[in-house]
Chain A
Amino acid sequence: MSISLEQVTKHYGGVPVVNDVSLDIADGEFFVLLGPSGSGKSTLLRAIAGLIAVDHGRISLHGRDVTHVAARKRGVGLVFQNYALFRHMTVADNIEFALRVRHMRARRRRERRKELLRLVALEGMDDRLPAQLSGGQQQRVAVARALAHKPEVLLLDEPFGALDAKIREELRRTIREVQRELGITTVLVTHDQGEAFAMADRIGIMNLGRLLEIGAPHDLYSRPATRFVATFLGAANLFLARQGGDGIQVGAARIATHEQSAEPREHEVVAVVRPEEVTVAATPAELGGGFVAQGVVDEMVFSGALERLRLRLENGGGAPLLATADAAAPPYLEVTRTQHEQRSFELHPGQSVAIGVRRVHVLPTPLSSFAACAASAPDAETLARQPLLTELAARMKTRIAVRCEPQLGMEQAGRGGAAAFVGATVIASEPGAAQRAAWLLQRGAREVLVLPAQAAVPHRVLIHWLGEAARAATLAVSESVLRHVPAEAVYAGIPPQGAADVAPELARRLAEAPAQLLIVGVTDLARFAERFSPLLDGGRWPVLVVHRATS
């Protein structure tokens, strides 16, 4: 492995900017770190370069542990967004800087410089000063300078950010050619997915300091595992769908899937439909299958090769569409059509159409949506407006349903009749909450979030499970939560002799610091209310209970 990161973590002012990142990059690989600004990708790159000391974790370059090695001894080349050329030096002196530092003889320096200038297509520019070069040329000099000392790793920090589109394209090609010719392991940081697609062998996507997913561009685009990656990498329409043994139900459409579900029982999932996988026609019959719902054309934008449409689904169409980029705006369906599709069926704004989908990808995310549940409708609605809940839902790009259960927590209530509980059910943390949580879990709710009225976005997520059957599910749910909050994860290990008093022990740990969230996995519901009363009945912290029965 050229570059190997193990659990690298960096905090700034108590906030993890890079959070537990592990990554292996192979020899000669072109790896792109992609993420929005503030996702920690530049910090991670600087940590690899040695310009930032990490708080925790290990960094190895070619099998050598360099975690505590100074930047100048790491043998890396770094290229900056603003070129960072030495402006009082000529191009030649800039490129030879690293060679001078190493006391290389003048003749050999000159040979190396000529070779590098040829590589970046700047022959004959030796005696120019940076101020006499265009932005693209300056960045070429910066690349040549970074390669002069034959580094084992080339690091590029948004190298095209300050250039205009055409120059960018050219420089991209040059860098890719240079990288192939030298076979040098390269890491590029960018927020531009087009750039990532064009250059990467593999892409790693970062958000809130975490490395969410790693994969080849095509795999990440067609089979993202998380909501963030699905929506950040290209446009995506997110639906709440139902997955059963024989396919996925999106609105009126039942779509066969090859992706196997771990859960045989029908359950709610988040489905991704790419804009190019949506079809429109005048009637459902003309769609040729995959009819989801009726819709109205809201907006049409011509953008060259493709036509971009926004469609509004008519009364939900039985397929709850999740808000896309902007959570405040009513959700709409994004569609792109090729010229050919446009010619065969012309559209105009306001037109009513039948909408179908060709391909659906189901995200393996365990938390599909939230349902705020209380005994009376006003209470449920108040709960649905709880700040932490709305914040979480917005970050997860999902919805909060309101559910009124008049018999919530009453022991004599029957077990049948009620509609299945889908997604995570949310109840208020107050006396009797443990009893209510037990009531919900017994009736099929798989995740119950007990939420106090005042709760902040957690800085720390405490994880614990009782019983091995709940382990996998608890970890999956924790992972899902941690993707959306910049918190550190702590497994709360409890010694066996204390196992009987797990709840008080967990409550004690929650009381240690503010802004914590507990995720606890349970298998056995016997005496649940009694056992978990210290944690749930009026606690000041949010607790997410994950229940999986022993099979």
Chain B
Amino acid sequence: MSFRKPSVLPGFGLTFGFTTFFLSAIVLLPLAALVLAAASMHWSEFVAVVSSPRALGSYRLSFGASALAASINLVFGFIIAWTLVRYEFPGRKLIDALIDMPFALPTAVSGIALTTVFARHGWIGRYLEPLGVQVAYTWLGVTLALTLISMPFSVRAMQPALLELQRELEEAAETLGAGRLYTFRRIILPTVLPALLTGFTLSFARAVGEYGSVIFIAGNLPMKTEITPLLIVIHLEQFDYRGAAALGVVMLLLSFVVLLTINLLQAWNRRRHVQAAH
């Protein structure tokens, strides 16, 4: 193998073999099965399933709410990560540990908890109701659930980058006459941008695939609060495996396009900063 490089740890052949085997068996094979299942449909039938108004509505909600959730996490995840990295306060370790809670909680539990709080007579819902804001059983509730379960991904992606961010950079900018906002915009943000994008990507990917927490708070009204994964489950319950597979393929493609775009954006950004560094 010409791309082999000497390394401290031996066994490149073996590890490379494991890598390809695991990727194939766990990721590529099931995906291929999915595509195959959908491929057994007739083209017109496939189009009819994936472009039905109900399906289109579910894509809009799934991807729209996920993008919104990832965006919210981009801002608040950054603020949380910044607070945890930059400040020393009592209970910091505790909050740091709390960040991971949505990881560990079964998503159905998160959904039930959110519904309890935001339903019409819930702790917060009862105060929102008179204001005309309804969270549970609307797209707001879906976004809220997706924000909750994808939050740790953005915080954890940003934390290391903020830890590495040298304080001297800000100090240098300050002595050169820059105000706080200018320093943030021109120095901090560009420096941590790759980590922000990674955080956004991970959050978005997690949110798109989410099912458990959403079904409790969404109310699942066709065209309004029905996410694509739920629509897939509905097809499955009607033993329409091929219809489910068809929707799955569309989700797969859409997700792939979004993730690829973000990754390319990152690579371009990286190249721009260290072009021909070597």
Which A residues are within 8 Å of any B CB, using their own CB?
A: 46, 49-51, 70-74, 76-78, 80, 82, 84, 86-88, 97-98, 101-102, 129, 131-132, 142, 145-146, 148-149
Contact = CB atoms under 8 A, between A and B. Distances in A.
Contacts of A145: 172, 176
Interface in B136-178: 166, 168-169, 171-178
B273 interface: yes
Contact of B174 (A72, A87, A88): A72
Contacts of B277: 129, 131-132
Interface string B187-204: 100110000000000000
Nearest to B176: A98
Contact of A71 (B174, B273, B276): B174
B76 to A, nearest CB: 24
B275 interface: yes
Nearest to B180: A72
Nearest to A71: B174
Given A88-B190, A129-B275, A50 B175 contact: yes
Contacts of B186: 86, 97
B237 to A, nearest CB: 51
Contacts of B177: 72-73, 98, 101-102, 149
Nearest to B172: A84
Contact of B178 (A80, A84, A97, A148): A97
B217 to A, nearest CB: 41
A76 B172 CA distance: 10
Given A77-B176, A86-B187, A101-B182, 15 more contacts: A51-B171, A51-B174, A51-B175, A72-B179, A76-B175, A82-B168, A84-B168, A84-B172, A86-B169, A87-B191, A98-B176, A129-B273, A129-B274, A132-B277, A146-B176
A97 B190 CA distance: 14
Contacts of A78: 171-172, 175
Contacts of B178: 72, 97-98, 101
Q: Which 4 A-B pairs have the closest CB atoms?
A: A84-B168, A98-B176, A78-B175, A84-B172
Contacts of A73: 177
A249 B132 CA distance: 97
B266 to A, nearest CB: 13
A77 B276 contact: no
A141 B166 CA distance: 18
Given A84-B168, A86-B169, A129-B274, A49 B187 contact: no
Interface string B260-271: 000000000000
Contacts of A88: 190-191, 273
Nearest to A78: B175
A102 B274 CA distance: 27
Given A101-B182, A129-B274, A129-B277, A84 B166 contact: yes
Contact of A49 (B175, B182, B191, B273): B175
Contacts of A86: 169, 172-173, 186-187, 191
A148 B177 CA distance: 11
A236 to B, nearest CB: 36
A51 B168 CA distance: 10
Nearest to A151: B175
Contacts of A82: 166, 168
Contacts of A46: 171
Interface in B3-20: none
10 contacts: A72-B174, A74-B175, A80-B168, A82-B168, A84-B171, A97-B186, A98-B176, A101-B176, A101-B177, A132-B276
Contacts of B273: 87-88, 129, 131
Nearest to B174: A71
B238 to A, nearest CB: 53
B176 A72 contact: yes
Given A101-B178, A102-B177, A129-B275, A71 B187 contact: no
B172 A148 contact: no
A73 B174 CA distance: 9
A394 B199 CA distance: 54
B147 to A, nearest CB: 29
Nearest to A127: B275
Contacts of B174: 50-51, 70-72
B268 to A, nearest CB: 13
Contacts of A132: 276-277
Given A84-B168, A132-B277, A146 B175 contact: yes
A472 B176 CA distance: 46
Given A82-B166, A129-B274, A77 B175 contact: yes
Nearest to B168: A84
B168 A149 contact: no
B20 to A, nearest CB: 33
Contacts of B179: 72
A26 to B, nearest CB: 22
Contacts of A149: 176-177
